[in-house]
Amino acid sequence: MRRLLPLLAVICLSALPAAHGQGIELKETPAFEDDVKAGALSPVAARLPADPLLVRPAEPGTPGGSLHMLMSSAKDTRMMVVYGYTRLVVFTPDYRLEPDIAKSVDVESGRIFTFHLRPGHKWSDGHPFTAEDFRYWFEDVASNKKLYTAGLPEQMLVDGKPPAFEVIDPETVRYSWVKPNPLFLPALAGPDPLYIYAPTHYMRQFNAKYADEKTLDDLVKQYRVRNWSALHTKLFHPYHTDNPDLPVLDPWVLKTRPPADRFVFERNPYFHRVDPDGHQLPYIDKVDLVIADSKIIPAKTGAGESDLQARYLRFDNYTFLKDAEDHNDYTVRLWRTAPGAQLALYPNLNVEDPAWRQLNRDVRFRRALSLAVDRHEINQAIYYGLAIEGQNTVLPESPLYDPAYRSAWAAYDPKQASRLLDEIGLTKRDGSGIRLLPDGRPLEIVVENAGESTEQSDVLELIRDTWAEVGIHLFSKPSQLDIWRRRVYSGATMMSIDKGVEDGLVTADMPPDDFVPTTQAQVQWPKWGQYLETKGKSGEPVDMPDVQELQKLYKAWFNAADAVERAQLWRRILEINARNVFSIGLVASVPQPIVVSNKLHNVPEEGIFNWMPGAFFGYYHMDTFWLTPEGSNQAATALPKG
């Protein structure tokens, strides 16, 4: 879990008075007109909370239509929760937190959080959403040892202690810790959020505390699960949305029961946002997710089978997609991506083989490897020169950026690389010019990867040529995600190729998790990460001075007094990383193709397609995307950056 700390100083989060729904004349959604007339649904004014959230779309839209998208497995239905991005509080594209489901949140000295709900807010089945839903989750779900065997989620524990929970009135709840909890609100606003409420009226029938024993036993049998807690857990997946009966607060509600090859989401009649014209959001009535193999999705997209697609499209699909643009009525946009490097090589500092461990830990060796990579050639040959060349570090848009971090040991200089390798003592060569290790083995580096894209193999092919010039033989070994990870964790892998740091757009207020050992998933030092993750039970303690220094700085960052000090600590961490070349970054900012139907409006021309921060389309308010009504030939105009 990535964590953000932007709001220690924020006392009160509340929407501007102007953003409240007063004074807006609400209009009935066309899709619901018949139901409302027939009395099956209450009119729009009664469905919305008294205080709806006003969203100002770039271009006011017309409600209706259905949007088609492609996904590769039934589990991808969770993307609708990510794209819909409806949370108690949400991040804006400039990292501010704003209330969304909550009307406002009061924060007192970073440790007492009071949530004010919107009076009259309803679940997607029309049942009121109140403080009781928070109480139910906290007392009857999270604190129930049968349901949450491990206790409360870690973001809700400060020094291992849970908060005091109070229901102030039906629209107000409060969580108070003894010490500040900076992780709480960001966890609520994440793309995969922490849910601290549950639809009581639906879930209680599966909870032994409330349900009749006999009825519950029958249900357990009917669903073929082991006991009621398994049933409760199975049916309450607000993020991995797979239960069409579960009431939600998202803009679209799942209507298809898995297993299926097509999932339909329909608009939530009780969604709490409106536009300035008085239309209830979302604009789009229906979202159709068609499941197809991920490898066939670019081809299907190119055949015009998706109205909005980015997932499973890769940069190397760009020319193909662009070529089919004319006869399939869509436009390909290029959004930016935020990882610190599209791809980076990770020498495993914890590799089992002692000779290789010694080499990988020698900074001269890592620098030589980096200098022997021709990034310009990779950029030109594979990314049409659109990427940024350099190390795996923060991106130029980040306030912490320094060009020196990116260019450190990143120029193509085979002569200096050879000199460094000679200096280490790798001077002997075999008949074919490959250097020999001191024990006589040839200097053959096996670069392993998860085998998920041909892009990695293509890049390695180019690196192989330039490394051969300095006397290093590169072998590429595509594997499978699970197996590759196991090998890295156990120290069998000497080097890996993978994505760079996830978030290159960091600010000083975000913890520098990616640049110091924190988890075994960091493939340059898996065993150190494991040691910290398991609190010393397995793995190895850090025994490299520069990395120990990183750990110290990381601890200091959490105790830093202000943003200035945090920025200073960040810069030192980045500088140590740049100097040590712990990972060998190749290129960054590779554009992400976004295919947008010409009928679809309000999708920004430029944007950042990223998980966190970003929630993919979530930050760009997918509920304000709208489709040109059938029969109208008005084309969507591309908007300036939104």
Q: Which residues bind other proteins (CB under 8 A)?
A: 1-2, 68, 73-74, 148-150, 153-154, 190-192, 224-226, 229-230, 233-234, 242, 256, 258-262, 264, 288, 290, 292-293, 295-296, 299-300, 303, 305, 450, 480-483, 485-486, 502, 519, 521, 611-612
CB under 8 Å to 534, separation ≥6 — which residues? none
Q: Residue 241 or 379: which CB sits closer to other proteins?
A: 241
Q: At what angle do helices 375-383 and 454-469 cross, to 10 degrees?
A: 150
Dihedral of CA 224/230/234/235: which sign?
A: positive
Q: What is the largest CA-CA distance in the chain?
A: 88
Q: Residue 305 or 565: which CB sits closer to other proteins?
A: 305
- CB 137 within 8 Å of CB 163: no
Dihedral of CA 123/125/126/130: which sign?
A: negative
- Least separation in angstroms between residue 313's CB and other proteins is 14
- Least separation in angstroms between residue 82's CB and other proteins is 9
- CB 616 within 8 Å of CB 507: no
Torsion of CA 599, 602, 603, 608, to 10 degrees: 180
Q: Residue 148 or 202: which CB sits closer to other proteins?
A: 148
Q: Residue 293 or 543: which CB sits closer to other proteins?
A: 293
- CB 303 within 8 Å of CB 324: yes
Map residue 9 onto helix, strand or coil: coil
Dihedral of CA 259/263/266/270: which sign?
A: positive
- Least separation in angstroms between residue 331's CB and other proteins is 20
The per-residue b/e assignment along 466-505, b for 16 or more CB within 10 angstroms, e otherwise, is bbeebbbbbebbbbeeeebbebbbebebbbbbbebbebbb
Q: Residue 236 or 365: which CB sits closer to other proteins?
A: 236
Our CA angle for 571, 576, 579, nearest 5°, is 120
- CB 515 within 8 Å of CB 398: no
- Least separation in angstroms between residue 503's CB and other proteins is 9
- Least separation in angstroms between residue 168's CB and other proteins is 27
Q: Residue 167 or 230: which CB sits closer to other proteins?
A: 230
Q: Residue 379 or 530: which CB sits closer to other proteins?
A: 530
- Least separation in angstroms between residue 78's CB and other proteins is 9
- Least separation in angstroms between residue 269's CB and other proteins is 21
Alpha-carbon separation of residue 634 from 23, 599, 601, 604, 629 (angstroms): 30, 8, 11, 18, 9
Q: Residue 138 or 467: which CB sits closer to other proteins?
A: 138
Q: Residue 148 or 401: which CB sits closer to other proteins?
A: 148
Strand locations in 364-483 (E): 388-389, 444-449, 473-478
Residue 568, both tokens: 């200073």
Nearest in space to 81 (alpha carbons), one of 618, 626, 627: 618
Q: Residue 256 or 583: which CB sits closer to other proteins?
A: 256
- Least separation in angstroms between residue 292's CB and other proteins is 5
Residue type, 516: V
- Least separation in angstroms between residue 332's CB and other proteins is 18
- Least separation in angstroms between residue 260's CB and other proteins is 6
CB under 8 Å to 64, separation ≥6 — which residues? 30, 31, 283, 284, 285, 627, 629
- Least separation in angstroms between residue 119's CB and other proteins is 31
CB under 8 Å to 68, separation ≥6 — which residues? 287, 288, 290, 305, 306, 307
Q: Residue 117 or 595: which CB sits closer to other proteins?
A: 595
